[in-house]
A and B are shown apart, each in its own frame.
Chain A
Amino acid sequence: MSTIVARPTRSARRPRTTLPDRTTLAVLGTHAALALAAIALWQIAASRNWINGHLFGSPAGVVASAARMWADGSLLGDTALTAGETTAGFVLGTLIGTFVGLALWASRFAARVVDPIAVAFNAVPKIALGPMIVIWLGAGIGSKIALAFVSTAVVALIAAYAATREIDPDLLTLLRCMGASRVQTFAKLVVPAALPLIFGTMRINVGFALVGAVVGEFISSQAGIGHAVFVAGNLFDLNTVWVGIFALSIIAALMYGAIGLLERALIGDRRA
């Protein structure tokens, strides 16, 4: 006869703490090592002319470009501008889109009218609206915010409405039997039930908002990371293009971080 000994798994043995555990540290360390190795390989390849440094840029060149842009103030200024346009469009798109999507729960008729229109509009690549929006709103930040807005609002609307449709009908019936008004049902059931999906959509929309703002800057602008990337690209200044790409990554990472914090404050561990 064999003996079976139940061994606690790693997660069972280790209580959840705020400090990263050894595996997490190892993963982070591996990430850092991979990034360093890629940068080193890139630099060596450029220095030894395995690749054309002019067409690919090089880490040393990127650092030099970044230092130059930092010194003349454009790195911080362009990043702040693009971050501001993206955030403004994202916040407006998320708030309005989510609000309308949730509100559609209240009217089956309005939902049947709006939902197919939203789905059809969502299939349009929003950046194709760019030239039109720039003609209407000009080359300033308004057109960039508007592009980031249209890129996110429809997605937010469709997701928020879909989230209200996912709610267990038995829960809606339970609240009806408790005597809840439509407003009470909306506040106590529909909104909190939709929150997790709304946050998931916000993460997707960070990318869409950035694309909207940057494409707006590509089309017509005097400043911003998109502008810097567009100009540098035309001049074959790939090092500056790389600086722009890293700056955009940092904007995206900061927005993800902010969404994560908001999600923790509003939902935390209170999910199914």
Chain B
Amino acid sequence: MSFVRPNGTVHTVIEGLDFAVAPGEFVGIVGPSGSGKSTIFNCIAGLLAPTHGTVALDGIVVGGPSDAVAYMLQKDLLLPWRTALDNVTLGLEIRGHTRRAARLIAHDYFVRYGLAGREDALPRQLSGGMRQRVALIRTLVVEPRLVMLDEPFSALDYQTRTLLQSDVARIVRETGCTTILVTHDIEEAVALCDRVVVLGGTPARVIAEHDVTLTLDGPRTPLSAREAPEFGPLHRRIWAELAPAEHTV
């Protein structure tokens, strides 16, 4: 995956990047800063067009932003003048729903995902964790086939982050969306994802891919995943894979 700079030189950001995500799968992409995570994110979202290489969604090459992909970032990007509910309806309104119809759909999501009662709150009246929950619902309400999460927990304090990770994992699995989580946090990736793709080097390439298979007592949550016997070894292994790359930078 390379890009032509405005001055004509070719800037290769990612090389030999080849991975597939199955429908309904929750895949993590981890790598150090500058490993091209954001570039991959933008290419999948259709915001950047690589000069070489393709991104395909259900066999169709991504040529620009599409209804099938929705994303959530570290910044909640809520509009301060809209209530929580009306922030969620934004995407529906853009797709031609009337405000009334959009509100009915959005309200249903608020109830289903434990935000009932916060519909009329303005973003500034909500905590960081609540704002990210609203942002997640805004992402899901348009029923995308692929959800992209780019460091969505990085700006939160430890406790809020842990709680929100559980919520996001549960909600995303309930909707059955295919999900890609881009993060620098190895622990987070292993705790949440079915599979982890490790990026490294310059230009970046896939160093390793790991299926996260955990032995669990009950249902899988990010907390129970951390208790699994395989969690520590896998975490250490990915850490070791990334460590040399970080030292040479």
Contacts and interface: CB of A to CB of B under 8 A. Distances in A.
Contacts of B73: 170
Contact of A188 (B46, B94, B95, B123): B94
Contacts of A21: none
B81 A171 contact: no
Contacts of A176: 47, 65
B122 interface: yes
Contact of B77 (A171, A267, A269): A171
Interface string B40-52: 0000011100000
A16 interface: no
B67 A179 contact: yes
Most buried by B among A174, A189, A193, A271: A174
Given A173-B47, A189-B79, A271-B81, A178 B122 contact: no
B95 A179 contact: yes
Nearest to B82: A270
Interface residues of B, number: 25
A120 interface: no
A174 B75 CA distance: 11
Contacts of B203: none
Contacts of A270: 80-82, 122
A269 B122 contact: yes
Most buried by B among A170, A171, A177: A177
B45 A174 contact: no
Contact of A177 (B65, B81, B95, B124): B65
Contacts of B185: none
Given A178-B90, A180-B94, A188-B90, A272 B80 contact: yes
Interface residues of A, number: 22
B188 to A, nearest CB: 21
B129 interface: no
A168 interface: yes
Contacts, number: 56
B138 to A, nearest CB: 9
B81 A170 contact: no
A47 interface: no
B124 A272 contact: yes
A177 B80 contact: no
A269 B80 CA distance: 10
Contacts of B47: 173, 176-177
B91 interface: yes
B94 A179 contact: yes
A192 interface: yes
Contact of B45 (A177, A179, A180): A177
A176 B66 CA distance: 9
A142 B69 CA distance: 56
Given A267-B81, A269-B122, A272-B124, A178 B94 contact: yes
B93 interface: yes
A132 to B, nearest CB: 42
Contacts of B79: 171, 189, 192-193
B71 interface: yes
Contacts of A180: 94
Given A269-B122, A270-B122, A272-B124, A178 B80 contact: no
A188 B90 CA distance: 8
Nearest to A266: B81
Nearest to A181: B94
A179 B82 CA distance: 19
A66 interface: no
Most buried by A among B69, B81, B93: B81
A192 B81 contact: yes
A177 B70 contact: yes
Nearest to A189: B79
B191 interface: no
Contacts of A179: 65-67, 91, 94-95
A184 interface: yes
A62 B33 CA distance: 72
Nearest to A175: B94
Nearest to A195: B81
Contacts of B91: 178-179
Interface in A202-244: none
Interface pairs A-B: 7 shortest CB-CB? A272-B80, A270-B81, A177-B65, A178-B91, A180-B94, A178-B94, A192-B81
6 contacts: A171-B77, A176-B65, A177-B45, A177-B69, A179-B94, A271-B81
